[in-house]
Structure 1
Amino acid sequence: MIYFDNAATTAIKPESVGKTMSDVLTSGHFGNPGRDSSNYSVNSSLLVEQTREKIAQLFNVPSSDFVMFTSNATDSLNTTLKGLLKPGDHVISTNYEHNSVIRPLEQLRRNNVDIDYVPFDTETGVINIEDFETRIKSNTKAIVCTYASNVTGYVLPIDNIGKLCKKYNLLFIVDAAQSAGFIDIDIQKQGIDVLCFTGHKSLYGPQGTGGICLKESLPIEPLKSGGTGIDSFNSNMPDEFPTRLEAGTMNVPGIAGLYEGIDYILKYGLNNIRQYVIGLTDEAIDGLDKYPEVKIYTPRTGLRTGVIAFNVGDLNSAEVGQWLWDEYQIANRTGAHCAPKVLESFNLVEQGIVRLSFSSFNTSEEIKVFLGAMEELIIEYRKEI
C-alpha cells in the first residue's frame, strides 16, 4: 500500500511518537498534570510544559504560557473565532478556507458578525493583498485565513497580510493546519496574533492534538469552561493563560506524542523535510504534465506545500481515486475536501478534485508507481472517449 493522504493525517509517524505515548499509558507513572504534588502529577506537568516550550520554539511564541492545547485545529479555530468576534464586528477571510474556518464564521454571521471572502485567481492561484485592503471597513476587527490551501497547496502571502493587519490595527488569525511543521512560522516576525494548529498532520503527532499560540495576551472568551486545578472558588475561568483556555483533564498521552513529532522535525530540519517533499511533488507533477487529459490545479510557481490537485478529463474525481486504490492500493483523497469555496471557484462542484499529499516518509519509488498507474488509467480513458 502507498499512502498519499498526508494533508488529512500523516498515517506514518516517527517510531518515537507511538513508543512515548505507550510509555505514558503503560508505565503507571503519569497522572493528572497540575492537580497535586505527587510524582504522578509532576511527571505529567513536566511533560506538558516541555511540549509547550517545544511548540514555542517552533513558532517563536514569546512565552510558553501563550501556548494552549486543544484537540485539533477545528477546536482551536472555534475557540478563537467565537471567543474574539462579537456582534457588529466585520471579519475578512478567503475563498481558500476549510470548513473549520467557514462554518464557525457563518455561525457567527447569524449573530450579526459581517464577513467578506477574498477570491483567488483560478489560473495562477494567486490571492492579492489589494483585495483584502479594499474590503476593510471601520468595524473590521480581524483577518482570518489559512496559511496554505488544503486543496491546491498554494501558500498565501502571510507576511504581507500580517503587515496589512498591523497597518490597520487588525487581529491576524491564521489556520496553520496545512503549514505547521512544513513551513517556517514566526508569529512575532509575521505579525500573527493567533496561530491555530493541529498535531496530526505535518507535525507527525497523534489525532486529538492541536493548539492555539498567541503573540500577546488577548481577551478571548473561553468556548469551554470547567475544572482547571486552580482558582476553584472562582465561578469564571481564570484570566491567566494558558489555564484560561484549558478546561478539563488534558490529553497527556497525545501531548507526549506531539512532543516527539515536533522533536523529529527539529532534529531533521524543517527546511530539509520541506525540500525533500517538494522534490517528490515536482517529480509527480512533471510526470502528470505530459498528459493533456490531466488538469493540474496546484500552482507551479511560488510557495506551495506537498499537495497535488488534479483531474483526468471529465472523469469524476471519485472514479479516479477509487481506481487508484482498487488497482494499486494508492490512498488518496477526492471530492470537495471540506473547502467548498475552492471547488465553486473552479466550477468543480460536481466533478470534485483528486488530491495527493506527501510526507517525509514517502519515496520516489512510490511516485514512480503512481505515475505508472496514471499511464494505465489514461490509456483506458482514451479508449472510452
Structure 2
Amino acid sequence: METRELLGTLFHYPHPQNIIFTKNITESLNLIIKGLLQAGDHVLVSALEHNAVMRPLSSLQKKGIIVEQIPCSPKGFLAITNVKKLLRPTTKAIMLTHASNVCGTILPLQEIGRLCQEKNIFFIIDSAQTAGFLDLNFTELGSAALAFTGHKGLLGPMGIGGLLINDQLAQTLPPLIEGGTGSFSEQEIQPEHLPDKFEAGTLNIPGIYGLNAALKYILQKGITTIREREIALTNYFLQNIKKTPDLEIIGPQEAKNRVPIVSLNFPGRDNAKISSLLAEDFQIMTRCGLHCAPSAHKALGTYPQGTVRFSFSHFNTEEEINYTLQALQKICQNYPSV
C-alpha cells in the first residue's frame, strides 16, 4: 500500500486503491485498449504513438474499431484544432503519449483533457516519457487513466508498471487477466473491487520494493530539481551539437517543450554505424533505429532509416556531454558522408 500511496503523491491522486500494478506500461495500455473499445468505436491517437498503443489498436481494427491519427508537425507538435476536426459522435477515447519517445516533443495534454471532459470522451495518457520528469496531476489533466512504467523516469527496476484509473473507467473495463487475488477466495468470479479486479496472480513484489525506493528518492529530491537539471543538460547538448556539420536535430531545436531525449539523423551515413561506433570506441550507449514507433518516424520524416537517440539524466555531467560531443566530432570526421 505504501508504494501506491507514493504514486498517489507523485501524481496528485489520493486514491491508492485506484492505482493498479502491472508488469509494464505495455500491459497497462493493453488492459485499457482491449477492455474499453468495442466494434464501431472511434479512437483518436497522435501520429507519434509507440507500438504499445499502435499494435493493440491495429489488432482491434480487424474487429471493427476505427482508429484515426491526429497529424503532427515535422517537429512533433500537435495542434488542438486538429483534434477537434477529427471528433465524431462515435469517438470513445483519445489516447496520447505525453511526449514522443523519438523527438521528445511534449504534447498539450491539459487542453485535450478539457476537450475530452466537455465531450464525455475517455482520455488515456501514456506517461512513459514524462513520469518523473514533469509534475503530472492526474485530475487536472482530465484523464480517465494514466499508464506508467517504473524503469524510465521513475528510476525503478524493469518489470514493474501500472496505471491510475478513475472510478468511471474502472467500472467499465473488464479485467485482462483473471485468477487468484487473495480476496474473496470462496468465489470463482473475479472481485469487482479495486485494485484486486485488475491484479490477478502474484505481483512483482521485488519490483514494487525497487519502485518504492525510487519514488522516495524522487519525492525527496524534487521533480522540479530533477527537471531543471535535465533540461540544462539537454539544452547544453543541443546548443553545442549544432556546431557539428552534416547532422540533423529531430524535433524542437531548443530544450523548451521537450523531454531530455535528443534524436539525431546523419544524412549520407548509416545511423546504425554511428551508434555502433559510439558504443564500441567511446562506450557511449545510444538507441538507434525506429524506437518501436514507426508512425512517429514517418511523421518526422525519419522513416525508414530511424535516428540515433541520446537520453540525459540528472545523474549525467557536463563533462560527459563534452565527451559525447567530442566523440561525435571524431566519428563524423573519420566517417565521411557519401
Q: Among residues 85, 88, 105, which one is paired with 1:134 in the alignment?
A: 85
Identical-pair percentage = 39
Q: Once the 2 structures are TM-superposed, how far is the Cα of residue 85 of structure 1 from its aligned partner?
A: 1.1
- What's the CA shift string for 1:67-123, capped at 9, x where partnerless? 01001100100011111111111100011100000011111111111110111110x
Q: Of 145, 156, 160, which residue of structure 2 is paired with 1:194?
A: 145
Counterparts of 1:1-385 in structure 2, within 5 Å, are: 49-122=1-74, 124-218=75-169, 219-301=172-254, 302-382=256-336, 385=338
Taking the aligned partners of 1:347 and 1:148, their CA distance within structure 2 comes to: 17
Contact kept, 8 Å, 1:61 with 1:214, in 2: the verdict is no
Tell me, in whole angstroms, the C-alpha distance in 1 between the residues paired with 2:167 and 2:98: 20
Secondary structure at the residue paired with 1:374? helix
* C-alpha deviation, 1:352, in angstroms: 1.2
Could you tell me how far 1:313 is from its partner in structure 2? 2.4
Q: What amino acid sits opposite 1:264 in the alignment?
A: Y
Q: Is the 8 A contact 2:43 2:94 kept in 1?
A: yes
Amino acid at match of 1:202: G
In terms of mean alpha carbon deviation, does 234-243 or 331-340 score higher?
Answer: 234-243
2-side partners of 1:187 and 1:270: how far apart? 15
- Deviations along 1:142-167, one digit per CA (max 9) or x if unpaired, are 00010110011111001111011011
Give the secondary structure class of the aligned counterpart of 2:167. Answer: coil
- Gaps spanning 5+ residues in structure 2: where? none
Looking at structure 1, the residues matched to 244 and 325 of structure 2 have their Cα atoms a distance apart, in angstroms, of: 11
AA of the residue aligned to 2:103: T
**Contact persistence 1:62–1:215 (CA under 8 A):** no
Counterparts of 1:168 and 1:187, CA distance in 2: 18
Once the two structures are superposed, what CA deviation does each residue of 1:4-52 show, in whole Å capped at 9, x if it has no partner? Answer: xxxxxxxxxxxxxxxxxxxxxxxxxxxxxxxxxxxxxxxxxxxxx0000
- Secondary structure, aligned partner of 1:232: coil
The 8 Å contact of residues 173 and 194 in structure 1, kept in 2 or not, is answered as yes
Question: What is the CA deviation profile of residues 213-234 of structure 1, one whole-angstrom value per residue up to 9, with x for unaligned ones?
Answer: 0133421111100001112233
Q: 2:285, 2:51 → 1: CA distance?
A: 22
Unaligned runs of 5+ in 1: 1-48
Decide which structure has the larger Cα Rg and report it: 1
- Secondary structure of the structure 1 residue equivalent to 2:86: coil
Secondary structure at 2:241's aligned position in 1? helix
Letter in 1 for 2:193: E
Q: Is the 8 A contact 1:66 1:241 kept in 2?
A: yes
Q: Classify the secondary structure of the residue corresponding to 1:236.
A: coil
Residues 156 and 214 in structure 2, CA contact (< 8 A), matched pair in contact too: yes
Q: Distance in 1 between matches of 2:69 and 2:14?
A: 31
Secondary structure of the residue aligned to 1:134 is helix
- Separation of aligned partners in 2, 1:179 and 1:132: 21
Distance (whole Å) between structure 2 residues aligned to residue 192 and residue 181 of structure 1: 18
**What is the SS of the residue equivalent to 1:330?**
coil
Query: For residues 61 and 215 of structure 1, do their structure 2 counterparts lie closer, same or farther at Cα, with a shift above 3 Å needed?
Result: farther
CA RMSD of aligned residues (A): 1.2
The AA in structure 2 aligned to 1:306 is P
Moved more, 213-222 or 129-138: 213-222
Deviation at 1:319, TM superposition (A): 1.0
The alignment's TM-score, normalised by the length of structure 2, stands at: 0.96
Q: Which amino acid aligns with 1:102?
A: M
> What is the Cα deviation at residue 350 of structure 1?
3.1
Normalising by structure 1, report the TM-score: 0.85
Paired positions, count: 335
* SS in structure 2 of the partner of residue 315 of structure 1: coil
Decide whether the 8 Å contact of 2:5 with 2:14 is kept in 1: no
Distance in 2 (alpha carbons) for counterparts of 1:169 and 1:217: 11
